Amino acid sequence: MRADGLSLDDKRNALLPEDRLGVRPQGDPLTPDELVKNNLPDVLARWQERDGTERDRARTEQSFCVPKADIAAQGYDLSLNRYKETVHEEIVTRTPTEILADLELLNEEIAKGTEELKGMLV
């Protein structure tokens, strides 16, 4: 859960109108913008599916199920980091030589532009 409908500061102000807070907001289902501010209806729906589709969710998702045996093997430690899998996205970077070559080109363009400006001022 990332948001319960209230601000995370010490004031805990409502982020949505009163009727849109809680586990069962009144009226139409919450919009995607409202769901970002109030995860409680989603949490309840996922809890109700804990014996169904929730069991198929990967451990990289916001919510997932963990078999009791896994929790027992961890000494009943419920720390999220023991069970959640993090997938790191590979970042492709350029070599320092490539970056330096680009900088040299930019410096040449700057020098050329500076000379043109000086010529306009004479």
- At residue 107 the predicted structure's pLDDT band, cuts being 50, 70 and 90, is very high
pTM of the model: 0.57
Find which of 30-34, 45-49, 83-87, 105-109 is predicted with most confidence, using mean pLDDT: 105-109
| The pLDDT of residue 122 | 80
Give the tens place of pLDDT for each residue, 37-91: 999 999 898 899 989 999 999 999 888 999 999 999 999 999 999 999 999 999 9
Q: Which helix (H) or strand (E) holds 68?
A: helix 68-73
Query: Tokens 């000086």 — which residue?
Result: 118
